[in-house]
């Protein structure tokens, strides 16, 4: 109930503030400039509204850690950022610059008042230039001026991987004994192998490109990528777009921006999955374990502990009737038992030496476990990338608000969030570019909006 109450109250405040705010401003004729807004109500009402929105988002952040985890915190932070910057300062501070007597909930804060009021002063705001002027419209051959020369530049970065091979090598988490720096002497350049990853299923044990677990394949892929960028740059410098491309695409600066944002969005979503699941390119020694890896590490740690205490890990039965420590996978392999069974197809450098032809080898588990494997699994068990979430995959997390957030968590989450924002930006600028190309970008006509005919709240 605590979660529901706090979340419900915050949501109601936010909805109330956002809804009432629509009654405070109405659009004028210049719908594409800041000066289109005309106040319709007293400043006191506006302060009440912005206070509701401000505190709802503050509470969203403050209560998220113990109650509703990362999602509510993210919503609160994003909402607060949008509230402070885009919704309120734009309209308020322009009015404040024009009318020294104008004050609001935010402008009364002296720390924000002087700096932002000066920055948003009327003479510093090129309001008329919010829409792309005609001189910014690009020709029908943007790859020549943008994409062409840029692609050889991009090709430099993949070749850095080659430089690392000949000046000391690279760290390989799969090297015997728990990882080591080695030189990659036998690159994978076979296109059937490198591009075969693209043909894999993204589901289950296939894992698409995220399933790569071999440094030779990774470095070989970088060589292929750098070469493709060079050839692509030369191609776009020497050629012009085909007729079908000229007909299908919008050719303007904002259209090109939308294409770029869309591509970056896709990269962000792919990188999110790659970072979250792959422990070869994003090795666990540097980024912390993956979620499945932390879960399997806990099962392994408890197996080692109980085996030393005399438990027969091969036959012990758990509370569900399945094996407590070991059981069978859907394919018949021996896997760890318990809730970590869902991650039975995990591959990790510290665990693979204990596998045989039919999964985990019981004799190796009894005789061949090395101290470095015990230490690493214990570390990974206690550093799961779960934040404040408890018992994901059976991982026992600290109950006293000691919530470890690993570099893997930050990297994956940031790529997802930024990828999503880039996707929204792609849709926004694509819509504007298409509207401008069609000749009907006049701004939004809000003369008939229902909110304008409602009785003012005061």
pTM of the model: 0.64
**Could you write out the DSSP letters of every residue in 205-237?**
TT-GGGG---HHHHHHHHHHHHHHHHHHHHHHH
Give the end of a domain, one of 228, 249, 270.
249
Domain at 307, CATH number: 1.10.10.670
Shared domain for 124 and 161, answered yes or no, is no
Tens digit of pLDDT at every position of the chain (458 positions)? 344 444 445 554 444 444 444 434 444 444 444 444 444 444 333 334 444 444 444 444 444 443 344 444 555 554 444 444 444 444 554 555 566 555 554 444 444 444 444 544 444 444 434 444 444 445 555 544 455 555 556 667 666 776 667 777 889 999 998 899 988 888 899 999 999 999 999 987 789 999 999 999 999 999 999 999 999 999 999 999 999 999 999 999 999 999 999 999 999 999 999 999 999 999 999 999 999 999 999 999 999 999 999 999 999 999 989 999 999 998 899 999 999 999 999 999 999 999 999 999 999 999 999 999 999 999 999 899 987 777 788 888 766 656 678 999 999 999 999 999 999 999 999 999 998 898 876 666 777 888 888 898 87
Helices (H), 278-402: 284-287, 291-308, 362-367, 371-381
Shared domain for 344 and 305, answered yes or no, is yes
Number of domains in the chain: 3
Shared domain for 58 and 87, answered yes or no, is yes
Give the end of a domain, one of 93, 108, 131.
131
Phi, psi (deg, nearest 5) at residue 388: -95, 0
Measured in whole angstroms, how far is the alpha carbon of residue 97 from the centre of its chain? 38
Within-domain flag for 450: no
Owning domain of residue 377: 289-405
How far apart are alpha carbons 211 and 255 in whole angstroms? 34
Within-domain flag for 453: no
Shared domain for 93 and 159, answered yes or no, is no
Shared domain for 294 and 370, answered yes or no, is yes
Shared domain for 7 and 52, answered yes or no, is yes
| C-alpha distance across the termini of the chain, in Å | 34
Helix (H, G, I), strand (E, B) or coil at 356: strand
Number of Cβ within a 10 Å radius of residue 318: 13
Shared domain for 72 and 162, answered yes or no, is no
Asked whether the beta carbons of 227 and 155 are under 8 A apart, the reply is yes
Shared domain for 215 and 293, answered yes or no, is no
Shared domain for 157 and 88, answered yes or no, is no
How far apart are alpha carbons 397 and 406 in whole angstroms? 13
Shared domain for 145 and 221, answered yes or no, is yes
How far apart are alpha carbons 277 and 210 in whole angstroms? 7
Asked whether the beta carbons of 224 and 112 are under 8 A apart, the reply is no
Give the end of a domain, one of 249, 275, 301.
249
Within-domain flag for 351: yes
Shared domain for 8 and 113, answered yes or no, is yes
Asked whether the beta carbons of 44 and 135 are under 8 A apart, the reply is no
Q: Cα dihedral angle (316, 321, 326, 327), rounded to 10 degrees?
A: 140
Measured in whole angstroms, how far is the alpha carbon of residue 101 from the centre of its chain? 43
Shared domain for 65 and 179, answered yes or no, is no
Within-domain flag for 263: no
How far apart are alpha carbons 12 and 32 in whole angstroms? 30
């Amino acid at each position: 109930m605590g979660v529901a109450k706090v979340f419900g109250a915050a949501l109601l405040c936010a909805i109330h503030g956002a809804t009432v705010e629509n009654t405070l401003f109405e659009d004028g004729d210049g719908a594409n400039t800041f000066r289109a807004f005309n106040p319709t109500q007293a400043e006191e009402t506006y302060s009440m509204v912005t206070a509701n929105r401000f505190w709802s988002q503050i509470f969203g952040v403050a209560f998220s850690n113990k109650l509703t985890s990362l999602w509510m915190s993210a919503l609160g932070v994003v909402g607060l950022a949008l509230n402070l910057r885009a919704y309120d300062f734009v309209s308020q501070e322009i009015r404040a610059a024009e009318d020294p007597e104008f004050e609001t909930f935010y402008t009364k804060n002296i720390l924000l008042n002087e700096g932002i009021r000066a920055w948003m002063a009327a003479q510093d705001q090129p309001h008329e230039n919010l829409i792309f002027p005609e001189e910014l419209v690009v020709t029908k051959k943007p790859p020549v001026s943008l994409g062409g020369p840029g692609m050889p530049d991009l090709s430099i970065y993949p070749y850095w991987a080659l430089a690392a091979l000949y000046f000391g090598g690279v760290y390989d988490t799969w090297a015997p004994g728990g990882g080591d720096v080695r030189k990659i002497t036998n690159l994978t350049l076979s296109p059937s192998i490198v591009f075969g990853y693209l043909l894999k299923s993204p589901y289950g044990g296939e894992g698409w490109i995220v399933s790569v677990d071999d440094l030779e394949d990774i470095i070989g892929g970088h060589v292929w990528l750098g070469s493709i960028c060079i050839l692509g740059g030369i191609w776009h410098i020497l050629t012009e777009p085909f007729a079908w491309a000229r007909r299908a695409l919008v050719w303007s600066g904002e259209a090109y921006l939308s294409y770029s944002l869309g591509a970056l969005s896709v990269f962000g979503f792919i990188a999110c999955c790659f970072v979250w699941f792959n422990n070869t390119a994003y090795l666990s020694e540097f980024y912390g374990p993956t979620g499945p890896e932390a879960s399997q590490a806990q099962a392994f740690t408890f197996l080692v502990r109980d085996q030393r205490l005399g438990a027969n890990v091969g036959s012990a039965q758990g509370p569900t009737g399945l094996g407590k420590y070991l059981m069978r996978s859907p394919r018949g392999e021996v896997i760890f038992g318990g809730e970590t069974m869902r991650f039975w197809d995990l591959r990790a450098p510290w665990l693979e030496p204990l596998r045989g032809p039919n999964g985990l080898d019981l004799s190796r588990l009894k005789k061949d476990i090395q101290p470095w494997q015990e230490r690493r699994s214990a570390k990974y068990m206690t550093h799961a990338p779960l934040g404040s979430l408890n018992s994901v995959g059976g991982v026992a997390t600290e109950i006293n608000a000691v919530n470890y957030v690993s570099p893997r968590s930050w990297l994956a989450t940031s790529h997802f969030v930024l990828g999503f924002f880039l996707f929204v930006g792609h849709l926004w600028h694509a819509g504007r570019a298409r509207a401008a190309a069609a000749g009907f970008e006049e701004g939004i006509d809000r003369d008939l909006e229902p909110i304008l005919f409602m009785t003012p709240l005061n």
